[in-house]
Amino acid sequence: MPRTHRISRRILPVLLGVALLPLTMSVSLGSDADSYRNPLKPQIPNDGTVDSCADPTVLHGQRDGDRNWYMYCTTDPLNDGDTAGDGVDFHSLPMMKSRDLVNWTYVGDALPEGSWPSYAAEDARLWAPDVVYSKTYDKYYLTFVVTQTTLGKDATGGDCPHDNAIGVATSHSPLGPWHASDVPVVPPRQNGPDCNFFWTFDPEVLGDTIGERGKFYYGSYYGGVFGTNVVVTPDGMTSGGTVDDVPVAIPNRYEGANVVRRGDWYYLFASAANCCNGPITGYSVFVGRSRTPFGPFVDREGNSFLDGRVGGTPVLSMNGNKWVGTGHNTVFKDFDGQWWTVYHAVNRFDPYFEGEPGFTKRPALLDPLDWRDGWPSVRARRWASDQRMPAPAAQPGEQSRYRPNWLANDRLGTPIWRLSDTFRGNTLGREPVPWTWEGEPEPAGEYSVENGEFRYQTQPGDLARDTNNAPVLTEPTPPGDYVVQTKVHLNVPEEGCCFNYRQGGLVIYDNDDKYIKLVHVSIWETRQTELAKEVPNPEFEGHSYGNSVIGPPADWTYLRIVKRERPSGLELYTGYTSQDGETWIRGGTWTHRLGDDARIGLVSMGGDGYRARFKYVRVWEAAPR
């Protein structure tokens, strides 16, 4: 479960299928003028396209008569041309504009070097912009992350690394020139002595237009996500101080907050898992809602974003097409009332900048956001599109021809009794298909069958990257498409830190470096359900293990993996979780090639001292779509 996150070269440790179906439209698509296809590819005048636009934010011009839309991106190279030479050409907060939300033009960088705040360190980067307009001062306010500052000091008075802060710049135009304030909105937040700083990332102001005051959100995995009140001035933005800030999401789960109001509800969209892991990036978007802007935010089943068993309803994840790492989104409405989201993703067939294996390229994507029973989902639960789509109504008087076609959960087919087990008796013996061990635990007392349960002590080993010493209890997979499900209890405490990385659940297993995993896992303060994939990566060995997450676990957690195979032999594995065995939450879909010799497995690992109890393993054929 170790993850990497963006810092300098995008490396910083952090802990954290459905078959592709065509979108059935009730209207035909016309010319390119009223349709689009992902990714968005802003034109660089006379110099190619913008092929990476991470952490995008989108804003319509807020002054009367401004018909443009504006998009801002995190600091990165624009395309392979910026990395093909001897060095890497970083662009500090690239800016784009568009009339139709489909065809964009790059117009320069908001804060090129030399215009940064005075407290930014020489090796800083500027990330994750957000832009809001103040009617009081008739100005635009650009907030952003400063990854390294000169403000954080160690015990000797020396500068600390990674003491990030939130900065602000102002302009009379959404395209600048921007004037950076030398006072941060949120300064570095020290966690104890020495150079230990919370991650002060990802600013967000509620709304597109404010007066003199606004609601503000910031934070990331290490330290969590917070809300606070801010006041804008002619030259910047100030907060009331971090002492009074309100936690809105528990540490070690979310980042990239985007909050919108719809009716009487405030919706917090936030991203989870690893943003930048090449072709196995599992970054995904979740949502919770609240009657008040600072929460508490809860998911569709009532789980709070502040609970140890952390809540979150999936809004966007990988769906088995070429797009993975779908996250850090911005949400808005078009002039026909249709909601949309722009987010970054990773093309698993073109994941890295040229000449920079491991440096993940993240183009911007656009897709509709649909609502059912008060809850949103991208493209009616079909998620990232890779076919031509109807364009938004980007100007007054236009209408969008998009219509949602909701995707249902996978259905169970005929039970496969010979591979199902309710663990009766007091041994693992079973006919006609016996269980077998891949590396049996020592001593044998580490597991038992009692009272209709398989009880398995958590093992000190794991199955992640170079750690391949966890035993796996296995049986064969059936031919064709199938569903496998278990019910598991993991006896780590419901709240509190730290029980890393005790876990129990399912694997679809070819070998120790090639599998799909769905487990209830303890990660720092949180308890999560992790859907992971491991595969040898000859292009960049550091990106061999990728993880996503689904719904929160419970005292007894239900885990389900659905396997479907395409004619090409590509296999799609979709994860589901449930807290009650009736309401199922669909997660992402990993692609893999495990082959006919793959086995269904049970794991209990990540450290000793705890125990996973399995009520059953049940296997079905997967019902046709």
Q: Is residue 299 included in any domain, yes or no?
A: yes
Question: What local confidence, expressed as pLDDT, does residue 257 receive?
Answer: 98
Could you tell me if 418 and 385 lie in one domain? no
Q: What are phi and psi of 246, to 5 degrees?
A: -105, 125
Residue 602 near residue 506, CB atoms below 8 Å: yes
Could you tell me if 458 and 536 lie in one domain? yes
Bridge partners, residue 219, by sequence? 225
Q: How many domains does the chain have?
A: 2
The pairs formed by 189-192 with CB atoms below 8 angstroms and a separation of 24 or more are 189/223, 189/242, 190/152, 190/163, 191/223
Amino acid at the residue 282: G
Q: Is residue 166 included in any domain, yes or no?
A: no
Q: Is residue 115 included in any domain, yes or no?
A: no
Q: SS3 sequence, 452-467?
A: CEEEEECCCCCEECCE
Parts of the chain with a pLDDT under 70:
1-33, 242-243
Question: What local confidence, expressed as pLDDT, does residue 32 receive?
Answer: 61
Domain with 298 in it: what CATH number?
2.115.10
For residue 81, the SS3 value is helix
Domain with 513 in it: what CATH number?
2.60.120.200
Residue ranges making up the domain that contains 384: 2-110+191-390
Could you tell me if 357 and 425 lie in one domain? no
Could you tell me if 439 and 513 lie in one domain? yes
Q: What is the chain's length?
A: 625
Could you tell me if 385 and 445 lie in one domain? no
Could you tell me if 494 and 584 lie in one domain? yes
Could you tell me if 528 and 593 lie in one domain? yes
Residue 396 near residue 365, CB atoms below 8 Å: no
Burial tier of 309 (Cβ tally within 10 Å: 0-12, 13-18, 19+): buried
Could you tell me if 332 and 429 lie in one domain? no
Q: Is residue 400 included in any domain, yes or no?
A: no
Question: What local confidence, expressed as pLDDT, does residue 601 receive?
Answer: 98
From 390, 423, 449, give the residue that closes a domain: 390
Cα atoms in the Cβ-side hemisphere of radius 13 Å centred on 69: 22
Question: What local confidence, expressed as pLDDT, does residue 549 receive?
Answer: 98
Could you tell me if 441 and 320 lie in one domain? no
Could you tell me if 425 and 544 lie in one domain? yes
Question: What local confidence, expressed as pLDDT, does residue 16 receive?
Answer: 37
Could you tell me if 229 and 338 lie in one domain? yes
Close Cβ partners of 272 (under 8 Å, ≥ 6 residues apart): 16, 253, 254, 255, 283, 284, 285, 286, 312, 327, 548, 549
Bridge partners, residue 487, by sequence? 558
Neighbours of 414 (CB within 10 A): 9
Provide the 8-state DSSP code for 395. S
Give the whole-angstrom CA distance, residue 506 versus residue 616. Answer: 11
Question: What local confidence, expressed as pLDDT, does residue 15 receive?
Answer: 34
Give 125-160 pLDDT, tens digit per residue.
Answer: 999 999 999 999 999 999 999 999 999 988 888 889
Give 551-592 pLDDT, tens digit per residue.
Answer: 999 999 999 999 999 999 999 999 999 999 999 999 999 999
Question: What local confidence, expressed as pLDDT, does residue 431 receive?
Answer: 85
Q: Is residue 116 included in any domain, yes or no?
A: no
Give the whole-angstrom CA distance, residue 574 versus residue 409. Answer: 10
Could you tell me if 196 and 340 lie in one domain? yes
Give the whole-angstrom CA distance, residue 457 versus residue 473. Answer: 13
Tell me the Ramachandran region of residue 569: left when phi exceeds 0, alpha when psi lies from -120 to 50, beta otherwise: left
Q: Is residue 418 included in any domain, yes or no?
A: yes
Q: Is residue 480 included in any domain, yes or no?
A: yes
pTM attached to this predicted model: 0.94
Give the whole-angstrom CA distance, residue 485 versus residue 235. Answer: 57
Q: Is residue 145 included in any domain, yes or no?
A: no
